[in-house]
Structures are given as structure tokens and as C-alpha cells.
Amino acid sequence: MNPAFAGMTTEMFQPLGVAGTLPALPFLFFSSIYFYYFLKLFFVTEVKVMRRLLCVFTAITLGLVAQVVNAKAYKGAEIYSSDSYLYGRYEIRMRVANASGVLSTFFTYKNGSEVGNTFWEEIDIEVFGKENATKWQSNIILGSSRPTIHTEQVHTAPASLADAYHTYVVEWTPDYVAWFVDGVEARRITGTSTVTSLTNPQSLRFNIWSSESVPWVGAWDDAVLPVYQFVNYIDYKAYNATTKTFEGGWRDDFNNFDSARWGKANWSFDTNRVDFAPENVVVKDGILVLALTKENATGFSGTPPADAPVSSSSASSVAVSSSAASSIAASSAAPSSIAASSIAASVAASSTAVAMSSVATSKATSGGGSGGGGAVNLLWLVLLGGLALVGRNNK
């Protein structure tokens, strides 16, 4: 990446996607800039005007061509929060897609982590669509080096996670990160550099996408499309460092799409088989629907599956007090280090609750593991390059 853009976060580039038509606001923005330069150059010689206008229109044309060339045949969906949060308890009620090659996810992500050698910070829940959607992955991604350090661990559910809604929880404090499914703690990392390195606020994100890594997510067959991820609600509670409890916060039941709280992604990233299309984000009947479709079949027109009534307060077997959660026996922890090349296998399940089996698969380089944040769009870079050319010719 050009060092001139090294300090820019991807959110600055989000209004333009990898695929699709040129959105109105960015187009008007750049048009106004170009019109300004046109007026400024109006009184100079005709040759200079033509040369500078040629630079501008060449930049626009190249940008539009780049969009067409980079468009992918499949469209996924992602939403991201407008605000970022440092620590907290995140409870999600969702039903995932059942399709090999597909991932249904919730993750927290430090915006701009993908830029240059920025220190990456991310916490993942990724549910695999392969093997009847019976497996999911917990993960923390860190590091300034590329590839980043992954601490992946795969968990197996006793039944398909795509046949009904399930409650997923991530608890993130300065001392530990823990993952729960339907009230059962599946994994906990306590007091290692993997946890203490998570020092920055992170945005909240849901997405459905397809990785090109067959060993990781399974073989791809587009005959299964369309497939969907359904989200009933997300409940966030802030972390109080003084009382060591989770309190306050907010809850979104997706009775509508709150554009002040969420944005719709329109980008992609390497190894992702899909572009994220805003049209594949739909709210209907109190359910957030994220669709994975073919290019010319975006959206959702059906009826989301209903969820059985579940009490949010009773969804997790762990009390809202993080101090109580910390009293869980140390044997349930999965020790991890940012420099570790492997993680000891860990199982944290109750004989009277849903059994979850865990297989440690931590590694420094991985076939996947990142839900993906924003991606700096080529069209923006080309357009900015056009401005640079105009400025240079104006001297």
C-alpha cells in the first residue's frame, strides 16, 4: 500500500464497494472536486485544460473498470457497528447456514487492523456450514506481522447449529476472554499475552461469507444457494473495571435496521469467495437476515424461521458478574500465548448440560480464521490518484 494512505482506516473507504454501481454521495463528492478544478483551470490555455480533464476522466474510467473486473460471482453480507467497544459481554441469538464452504460469524474487530503492519485485534465466533453445521470455531487474532497469530480452537456440537436458534456469548475483560454456547462455557483464555494484547476498542460485526480454503471450511457447491444466517438479537453489556461486573449497555432486537448503530458492508478481501452486498442485509419480522447468494439473485423475500422464546438473562450459565465467572476452575481454561505454536486441548462442559467437544488447532499461520474487516477499495485509490495528477499538473 502507498505510504500516503497508511494512516487511513478502512471506514474512510467504505462508501464504495468492490462491486456494484458508483454510489451517489461519493460520486457527487468527487464531482464537486473535479468541477472546482475545472473552474480553476477555465481561464488557462485550452491545451492545459484538455490535459487536466483527460487525467480526471481517465481516473474515473479506470475506477469504474476496476469495479467490473473485481466483481465476484457470489454475494455475501456483513454489518458492522458504528461504535467500538473496549471489553464487555456480547450475547447473540442466531441460526446459521448449513452449507459446506460457508461461514456464519459474529466477531469483534479493531477497525483498520488490515492496514499495513497495524497491530491486528479480533475475537471470533465462526460457525462452519460443513458437516451439517455441527462445528464452530473460537479464535483470537493478533499481531503486526503478516500472517497474523491465530489461536483457533474447533468445537463440536451434539446437533446441527443450523436447525434452530442458539445463544452464543463472548465475555471480554482485561483478564480473560470466554466463549459460551447455550449457557455452556466452551473455552476460556485467562491472563496470557493473547488476552492482555487486546487493548483497543473493537467494532461488532456479523457476516456470512465463503472462504476459498477447502481444508478449513469444506468444498464449495453453489447449487445450495441461497443460504442464510438469521439473528434474533444482540445484547451488549459494558464491563465495569471497578466492580468487575457487566452492566448497562444496550440490546438490539432487530425490529428494524438501526442505521445509526449499524452499517452495511460493500467490500471483500483476499480468500473471500464473495463480495459483501448491502442488498443481502434484510430485517424482517424482527430477524436480521444475512444472505449468501449468486450475483443476480440478492436479497431475501421469504419468511425468517421463528425462534422459540428464550430468556436472555437465563441464556448463559455464567452470572453477569465477571468475578463469579472467574471462579470457574482453572482446569477449564485453555492457556494460550501470542508466541505459542500450539494450544493444549481443553474441554469445559457439564455432564448435565449440552456436551461440547473441543479440538485444539492453534497455529501461527492458518487457512482461515478471520471474519474480515474492511478492504481499501481500488476505485477510491484510483480516484485519489486522479486528484494527485490534477494537483501535479496544476503546478
Measure the CA–CA gap between 144 and 342, rounded to whole angstroms: 19
For residues 354 and 181, the answer to whether their CB atoms sit within 8 Å is yes
Active site residue 11: no
Parallel/antiparallel/unpaired status of strands 74-85 and 227-240: unpaired
Residue keyed to cell 487474532: 141
Calculate the alpha carbon distances from 76 to 92, 97, 241, 286, 288 in Å.
20, 12, 37, 20, 14
DSSP 124: E
DSSP 363: B
Measure the CA–CA gap between 343 and 363, rounded to whole angstroms: 8
Element housing 61 (H / E) = helix 46-70
Catalytic residue, chosen from 78, 122, 171, 185, is: 122
Active site residue 126: yes
Catalytic residue, chosen from 126, 152, 171, 185, is: 126
DSSP 306: P
Residue keyed to cell 458437516: 131
Q: Which residues are catalytic?
A: 122, 126
